[in-house]
Amino acid sequence: MDTSEFDLIVIGAGSTGENVAAGAAERGLDVAIIEQDLVGGDCSYWACMPSKALLRSGEARRAAAAVGGVRVGDLDVDDVLARRDSFTSEWDDASQVEWVEDAGLTLVRGHARLVGEREVVVERDGEPPRRLLARHAVAIATGTDPAVPDVPRLREAEPWTTREATSADEVPASLVIIGGGVAACELATAYRDLGAEITIVARSGL
């Protein structure tokens, strides 16, 4: 198995992982950063950036409607989704990869497993596994996945998570949103602005 050694290994190239890796590199450490999906993580592609892009058009329409004498109409759904896509660079992480390289980091693509003390194996389809060793530490910055409630037949219905909701290429006639947190309220607002009928199911206040 091909083996490489670094001062620090960071698992996860989202915003936290990038900052940890870049900070260590600035201090002269040799750093590898591992990512199995898009460099930049959820914030850049399935959370902060696309959700704010989806919200902005509706916010602008409400602000205009509050001004006396201004007439507003419905949002152009295709234009709103196209603007969202531009914020995610069409889910292309080339610019983020360029940033990683400019920061002096070694990018390793694939699924990482911590198999021993400061020892990581990275697997990627079609390629032999790689073994990475850390002289000092392994930092785990993999983030979290949305929790799907244990509701009968819910999983069989293939519900959206925030990933599907922020990257959808069409607006459904109606949405039932389970949860009343920030992401739930943002997506409820965005999709209501785009014409969907929204029902929020929450255990407590929004």
Q: Do 185 and 103 share a structural domain?
A: no
Instruction: Provide the CATH number for the domain around residue 107.
Output: 3.50.50.60
Q: Which two tokens stand for residue 119?
A: 């020892």
Q: Do 129 and 66 share a structural domain?
A: no
Render pLDDT for 65-96 as a digit per residue (tens, 0 to 9).
Answer: 999 888 889 999 999 999 999 999 999 999 99
Please indicate, yes or no, if residue 206 is contained in any of the structural domains: no
Q: Do 31 and 15 share a structural domain?
A: yes
Residue 204 pLDDT > 90: no
Domain tally for the chain?
2
Q: Do 82 and 152 share a structural domain?
A: yes
Please indicate, yes or no, if residue 149 is contained in any of the structural domains: yes
Domain containing 170 equals: 44-89+145-201
Please indicate, yes or no, if residue 66 is contained in any of the structural domains: yes
* pLDDT confidence bin for 146, thresholds 50/70/90: confident
DSSP for 22-69 reads: HHHHHTT--EEEEESS-TTHHHHHTSHHHHHHHHHHHHHHHHHHTSTT
Q: Do 152 and 124 share a structural domain?
A: no
Average pLDDT over residues 46-73: 94
Q: Within 13 Å, how many C-alpha atoms sit on residue 25's CB side? A: 20
**174-178 and 106-109: which strand pairing?**
unpaired
Q: Do 111 and 35 share a structural domain?
A: yes
pTM for this model (two decimals)? 0.88
Please indicate, yes or no, if residue 16 is contained in any of the structural domains: yes
* pLDDT confidence bin for 147, thresholds 50/70/90: confident
* pLDDT confidence bin for 165, thresholds 50/70/90: very high
Q: Do 121 and 107 share a structural domain?
A: yes
* pLDDT confidence bin for 4, thresholds 50/70/90: very high
Q: Do 162 and 117 share a structural domain?
A: no
Q: Do 190 and 113 share a structural domain?
A: no
Q: Do 178 and 154 share a structural domain?
A: yes
Q: Do 36 and 101 share a structural domain?
A: yes
